[in-house]
Amino acid sequence: MELWQNIPVALIVLPLVFAPLCSVSKPKIARFLALFASVFSVLLSVMLICKVGNGNASFVYKMGEYGAPFGNELFVSGSEAAISLLFSSVMMLSLFAGLRRIGQEIDENRKSLFYTVCVLLLTAIQALTFTNDIFTGFVFLEITTIAAGALIFVRSKEGSLFAAMRYMIMNLLGSGLFLLGISVFYCLTGELLFPQMKEHASLLVEGGRYIRPLSVSLLLITLGLAVKSALYPFHTWLPNAYSGATPAASSMLSSLVSKAYIFLLIKFLVRAVGLEAFKMTGVNDVVFIYSVVAIVMGSVDAVKEHNVRRMVSYSSVAQIGYIFMAISYGSKEGMAAAVFHIIAHSLAKAMLFPAVDRLTEVSGGNENYRDLRGSGFRAPIAGLAFVIGAFSITGIPFLGGFVSKIYIATAAHDYGGWVMLISLGALAVSTVLNVLYFLRTVLTIYRPGERYPLTRDPSRRPYLTAALFMFACLNIALGVWGMPIMHLIESSVMAW
């Protein structure tokens, strides 16, 4: 084993080492440690994707001396490396973008806790990314849930505790369904590692045995992760949670937490179940129905919402529907499109929340989109970031969202039949609705208003400006160089 192949375990262990240090440190030291851990994770992720993308394909990292079925393993391919880099980058930029708000909105005695939770979350989502074992996935799934709940209630704002409680109730329900599904699947296969699970599941499918219990277990696992990911109609906790947290926490919740759950589901379906079993059980049809409803209803709810934070939150419901719709095709092309949309949506949404916060700040704290008139002139960088993020989610060319929609539409075309027609129709309807609620906000922030001047706000936000600039560059880069990134993802998914 070469030295660089230890990077995945370092990405998991490094933030874990910093977590107890943050918890016993003063807020300024804890902030430095959290930022250092996130920056170092980005550097390690860049090294890993360079190595994996340079013809090294995939490899298995054995945790300890024992291999399967007794030992634990990490699995690394191009998709895992890309998602790891995404998660590290979003965590780093979200922390930098939200530094000022963290200082303002979190009590002094809770700041160290906030940074501790951030590095714990980074550990958990990296473990979910690389795990090759379903029970290890469940353990870190729970750590992610607890950390995400803490990110919501740590803010000193009325309603944050209520939002955190709603989040925990729905997510614990999802965890229970997921654990029940794992239990049934283990009874059928007697395995916890993905490759061995797939081998036994394939034998069951080929022999036509225990198909009903297999379908039930697969439905429970998929439904559990759908609940935790806020797939419609299990999204009721999402608007309050996203809008009630700090901008940094909102970026993490929308771009890291839900996406880590979905990526674990994709790995489980491809590497532990097999796509043929997924389609044979009919679970993919259930997922397709829910996803189409999510795409349309999430967009409708966003159109009806006037609070700009909640509008951006509701748009996540539709985007999660896109990802699940690509998953429902039960093809490796669909899974690759889902992974690409995870990247595109994460980069866009992580940029939108701090941009919206800055636009509302220069508008007297008003969150109704009608009150944001002229805010694009008062905070030009935030205005530009909002436009780029909105255009990416809408699907404007040369941005990541456009490329991901093309790949999802291509996967739908390959599937054919009524599924293709409904998918393309849902994409078209959602795109029109996206234009409605995002375009009205874009026009408003660049429309002169009477209450506030059009002159630029003199206060400086260097960290926020730098983070938004980096997010904007990443969104544009994903749109311009989407093909080689998709090739890396497709090649790794095909090899799963």
Tens digits of residue pLDDT in 119-175:
999 999 999 999 998 988 999 999 999 999 998 888 767 777 888 888 999 999 999
Q: How far is CA 75 from CA 35, 110, 168, 331, 481, in A?
A: 27, 36, 29, 21, 26
What is the model's pLDDT at position 459? 64
Structure tokens at 61: 């990292």
Q: Give the torsion sign (CA, 23, 24, 26, 32).
A: negative
**Whole-number average pLDDT of the chain:** 89
Q: What is the DSSP string of 52-104?
A: IIIII--EEEEESS--TTTSEEEEE-HHHHHHHHHHHHHHHHHHHHTHHHHHH
What is the model's pLDDT at position 189? 87
Please tell me the number of Cα atoms within 13 Å of 296 on its side-chain side: 12
What is the model's pLDDT at position 352? 94
pTM to 2 decimal places: 0.94
Q: Do the bridges between strand 59-63 and strand 72-76 make them parallel or antiparallel, or are there none, so unpaired? A: antiparallel
What is the model's pLDDT at position 347? 95
> Is 318's pLDDT higher than 90?
yes
Q: Indicate the pLDDT class of residue 365, thresholds 50, 70 and 90.
A: confident
What is the model's pLDDT at position 441? 92
Secondary structure E strands in 152-195: none
Average the pLDDT over 379-384 and give the result. 92
> Do the beta carbons of residue 453 and residue 376 sit within 8 Å?
no
Percent of the chain with pLDDT over 70: 95
Average the pLDDT over 173-183 and give the result. 93
Q: Give backbone dihedrals phi and psi of 202, rounded to 5 degrees, phi first.
A: -65, -40
> Do the beta carbons of residue 382 and residue 101 sit within 8 Å?
no
What is the model's pLDDT at position 407? 95
> Is 447's pLDDT higher than 90?
no
> Is 450's pLDDT higher than 80?
no
Amino acid identity of residue 133, one-letter, is D
| Angle (nearest 5°) at CA 480 between 476 and 484 | 125
Picking from 400, 407, 252, 250, the residue whose alpha carbon sits closest to that of residue 325 is 407
Q: Indicate the pLDDT class of residue 73, thresholds 50, 70 and 90.
A: confident
What is the model's pLDDT at position 494? 81
Amino acid identity of residue 277, one-letter, is A
What is the model's pLDDT at position 68? 60
Structure tokens at 195: 């490759």
More confident residue, 487 or 1: 487
Q: What is the pLDDT of residues 390-423, one digit of tens each?
A: 999 999 999 999 999 999 999 999 998 899 999 9
What is the C-alpha to C-alpha distance for residues 493 and 211, in angstroms, rounded to an integer? 25
Residue 438 three-state SS: helix
> Is 52's pLDDT higher than 90?
no
- Residue 18 makes CB contacts below 8 A (sequence gap 6+) with 33, 34, 36, 37, 119
Q: What is the pLDDT of residues 3-20, one digit of tens each?
A: 888 899 999 999 999 999
> Is 203's pLDDT higher than 90?
no
Q: What is the DSSP string of 302-359?
A: HHH--BHHHHHHHHHHHHHHHHHHHHHT-SHHHHHHHHHHHHHHHHHHHHHHHHHHHH
What is the model's pLDDT at position 37? 94
